[in-house]
Amino acid sequence: MKVMPDQGLAGFSLIETLVALVILAAGILAVTTMFTESRRVLHESDRYNTAVELARQKLEEKTGASYRELTTELHEPERIEDDAIAGEDQRDGIVRSWKVERDRPEPGIALIRVTTRWVHRGAARSVTMIALKADGRSS
């Protein structure tokens, strides 16, 4: 029987296999961390988009009303506060508040301010939208 000389084609050593496993584990850990972080960012942006949409809806509701109705009629849950109509409600953990100030910044114009507030990871967040509504009557 003839013996073949060793041509250096023996398989992987135990050290090479362990190094490969450590590199693979580090890669899997990085991908897992990326997915976890992307879910957190997606949730945060979803809350922001919800808050913006709630503020936009209320602002459209208020600007769609006539000047007289906007500045003189109270709707549930509104109240008079500092000579302005103010209200507040809550949806999905987001507090939405609004204020309509008559004759501000000048007579015949109403300032409408809508603010949404929420807490994310212990930090307070808010979005404010502002619009003006003119009386529309000529003097």
**pLDDT value at residue 125:** 95
**Rounded mean pLDDT, 93-98:** 96
| Domain ranges (residues) in the chain | 14-134
Tell me the three state secondary structure of residue 55: helix
Query: pTM, whole model, 2 decimals?
Result: 0.74
**Rounded mean pLDDT, 78-84:** 93
d(CA 99, CA 110): 10
Going by DSSP bridges, is the β-strand pair 94-101/109-120 parallel, antiparallel, or unpaired? antiparallel
Examine the pLDDT at 139 and tell me if it is beyond 80: no
The amino acid occupying position 9 is L
For the stretch 14-63, pLDDT in tens is 899 999 999 999 999 999 999 999 998 999 999 999 999 999 999 999 99
Examine the pLDDT at 4 and tell me if it is beyond 60: no
**pLDDT value at residue 53:** 97
**pLDDT value at residue 22:** 95
**Phi, then psi, of 69 in degrees rounded to 5:** -60, -40
